[in-house]
Amino acid sequence: MALVLIFLVFLIIVGCFILIARVSISRPRDKAQIQNGIAAIGEVICIENTFVEYGTGLDARRVLNILLKIIDEGGGTREVNVEQAYRYWSTPQEGEKFNILIDVNNPDKIVILEKIEE
């Protein structure tokens, strides 16, 4: 009888460890899927030392509406100070265009992926 109780306690402890391990492993993956699902990629144009969002696709509009509280479904604008741009290699010039990525967890963090050459 004592061996059965010890075995049951052992199974319960092992089960708890397995459950905790599964939850801790699955959370980062789920978070990454959410980030990949709603991260916004769009174009920005530099106007007077600010990046103004324009010409975004459906996914980018959805993110901007949810995270940045932009109401205009037709492609509203979002101004971001140049100082908030992340790892940009030089000072943007008037009229330059860029592809950007908006961080879902930190909407003010704008990652500039590349400059658009016309």
Domain 40-116 has CATH 2.40.50: yes
Average pLDDT, integer, range 66-93: 41
- Tokens of residue 82, six digits: 């140049």
pTM value is: 0.32
pLDDT of residue 2: 81
- Give the per-residue pLDDT at 5: 85
Instruction: Report the pLDDT averaged over residues 61-83.
Output: 38
Task: Name the band, by pLDDT with cuts 50, 70 and 90, for residue 10.
Answer: confident
Q: What is the 3-state secondary structure (H, E, C) of the chain?
A: CHHHHHHHHHHHHHHHHHHHHHHHHHHHHHHHHHHHHHCEEEEEEEECCEEEEECCCHHHHHHHHHHCCCCCCCCCCCEEEHHHEECCCCCCCCCCEEEEEECCCCCCCEEEEEEECC
For residue 74, what pLDDT is reported? 35
Mean pLDDT of 47-62: 45
Is residue 31 predicted with pLDDT exceeding 70?
A: no
User: To the nearest whole number, what is the mean pLDDT of the chain?
Assistant: 53
Q: What per-residue confidence (pLDDT) applies to 86? A: 37
